[in-house]
A and B are shown apart, each in its own frame.
Chain A
Amino acid sequence: MEIELLHQPDSAIAKIHLAPGEELIAQAGAMVAMSSHINPSTSLHRGKGGSLMGAVGRMLAGQSLFLSVFRTAIPAEIFLAPKLMGDLLICDLANSNLVVQSGSYLASASTVNLDLGFQGLKSVFSGEGLFWLDLSGIGSVLLTSFGGIYTIPVNGEYIVDTGHIVAFEKSLSFTIDKAGDSWLGSFLGGEGFVCRFQGQGKVYCQTHNNYALRRQVGSKLSTR
């Protein structure tokens, strides 16, 4: 599998070359264009336990994923793009687990395991319909971001505004906190919640916050 990224950092699109027999898993709806002999199929990846209806209900509550699998018998190419403007990053998983924001997962090789059970940051984000994926195994992962993606190698302590987290290595511990010296100051100052990461590991951040933009532009759309 060879991945080429075009139009970074704002309209990034991935051009993937698939070898015969290779399988690519992607967020359903990510396919832009592809060689005509690729065979796609889409299924529902459920969260822990439950019936199909329960899974659909969880999906509408933002807790499940629709995934497409692309297979080919001869060499083929496929273009994948995320839903919003932004960047793409290729992460090669080997030893450490990666915790990824649900909206930031685009695609991965079939050798990577996708688990929907990560509970850590749930309370802060449930209003926005966000949940977290736990990725393990070996293989390439394609992450998306709203804004440019930048990597911070944490060695000690680092603070990230909660709307700017794309993914982080599971080796890091974290706490949700206020940004400034006082809670009032934090909210008035517009920062609200931040996430303090401690230990050793990488954090992947995005320069912009899609939920903040939605609040700003969305409110302009409704003034009619």
Chain B
Amino acid sequence: MAAHDEYHYTIDHAPAYASLILNLKPNQTVVVEASAMAAMDSCIQMDTKVRGGAMQGLKRMLGGESLFMNEFTAQGQGGQLYVSPGVPGDIQHYRLGGSQDSLMVQSSGFVAASPTVNVDSQFQGLKGFFSGESLFLLRLTGAGSVWFSSYGGIVEIPVEGSYVVDTGYIVAFEESLSYHVEMLGGLSWRGIRTGLLGGDGLVCRFQGRGRLWIQSRNLYNLVNFLRPMQTSSSS
């Protein structure tokens, strides 16, 4: 049981179906991504909020995320809360130290955080940072615990110098790293950018010193694999 002087938690069934189990102390509150609650003791109360005000909520919605977040508080006594992100994968804990600390997380990767953490959606420009995925990154600041999730297992890479990552596999990174997105021609046949003819070649080059988290699977590949089965109305 890890205690980061605030929350008692365990992460079960990692890395494929990670579930975050929080043992909330009496009157302790945690903010959780909408619809991620799987089970809880009946003494826990849920409050739905539009975190950070209406603008933040709206930005989250444009990013494909929910307008709301849920605050769970254990009323009067301690209680257990089971949190499961909608996408199967890994969960990682990170501690923000306040002041300079800032963590960038892919928009569907937010799971839970202490109420003292600020979640801000950042627009990444039309280039499509995650090639067809959301155009937003979340910028987390403040002091407290954060849990983010992935599709597939999470691998931590300590960057010193420069490193190249396929954009579909980025989970989170410390803001001390600078980054820019580019096309690496040698990764796809004749530089043609489609997922079918090899990878799409869109990579992110990180520079500097800091930690980077990648995931071992790309959701886009699963979607492509399931596509032939769809007999739906959309094209």
Direct contact of A and B (CB under 8 A): yes
Is A28 a contact of B187 with CB atoms below 8 Å? yes
Is A41 a contact of B152 with CB atoms below 8 Å? no
Map CB proximity to B onto A68-94 as digits: 1 under 8 Å, 0 otherwise. Answer: 100000000001010111000000000
> A45 to B166, alpha carbons, bound, how many Å?
23
A36-B164 CB under 8 A given contacts A7-B216, A31-B187, A83-B225: yes
B118 at the interface (CB under 8 A from A): no
A35 at the interface (CB under 8 A from B): yes
> A38 to B161, alpha carbons, bound, how many Å?
14
For B, the interface residue count at a CB cutoff of 8 angstroms equals 46
A79 partner, pick from B184, B199, B214, beta carbons under 8 A:
B214
Q: Which residue on A lies nearest to B195, using beta carbons?
A: A29
Scoring B155, B161, B165, B200 by chain A CB atoms within 10 A of each residue's CB, the highest score goes to B155
CB under 8 Å from chain A, chain B span 208-230: 214-218, 221-222, 224-230
A12 at the interface (CB under 8 A from B): yes
A218-B216 CB under 8 A given contacts A29-B199, A84-B221: no
A28 partner, pick from B199, B215, B217, beta carbons under 8 A:
B199
Grouping DSSP codes into helix (H, G, I), strand (E, B) and loop, the A interface class, with mixed when no group exceeds half, is mixed
> B230: which A residues are within 8 A, CB to CB?
218, 221-222
Map CB proximity to B onto A19-43 as digits: 1 under 8 Å, 0 otherwise. Answer: 0000000001111111110111111
B15 at the interface (CB under 8 A from A): yes
> A217: which B residues are within 8 A, CB to CB?
226, 229
Name the interface size band of chain A: 35 or more
> A66 to B195, alpha carbons, bound, how many Å?
11
A214-B152 CB under 8 A given contacts A68-B198, A81-B216: no
Minimum Cβ distance to chain A for residue B53 (Å): 33
> B176: which A residues are within 8 A, CB to CB?
none
A83-B189 CB under 8 A given contacts A6-B155, A66-B198, A222-B229: no
> A15 to B216, alpha carbons, bound, how many Å?
11
Is A215 a contact of B229 with CB atoms below 8 Å? yes
B186 at the interface (CB under 8 A from A): yes
Scoring A32, A44, A224 by chain B CB atoms within 10 A of each residue's CB, the highest score goes to A32
Interface positions of A (Cβ within 8 A of B): 6-7, 10-13, 15, 28-36, 38-44, 59-60, 66, 68, 79, 81, 83-85, 210, 214-215, 217-219, 221-222, 224
A-B contacts, 21 listed (Cβ < 8 Å):
A11-B216, A15-B155, A28-B189, A29-B198, A29-B200, A31-B166, A32-B166, A34-B163, A36-B163, A36-B164, A42-B186, A42-B189, A44-B189, A66-B189, A66-B198, A79-B216, A84-B222, A85-B222, A214-B228, A221-B229, A221-B232
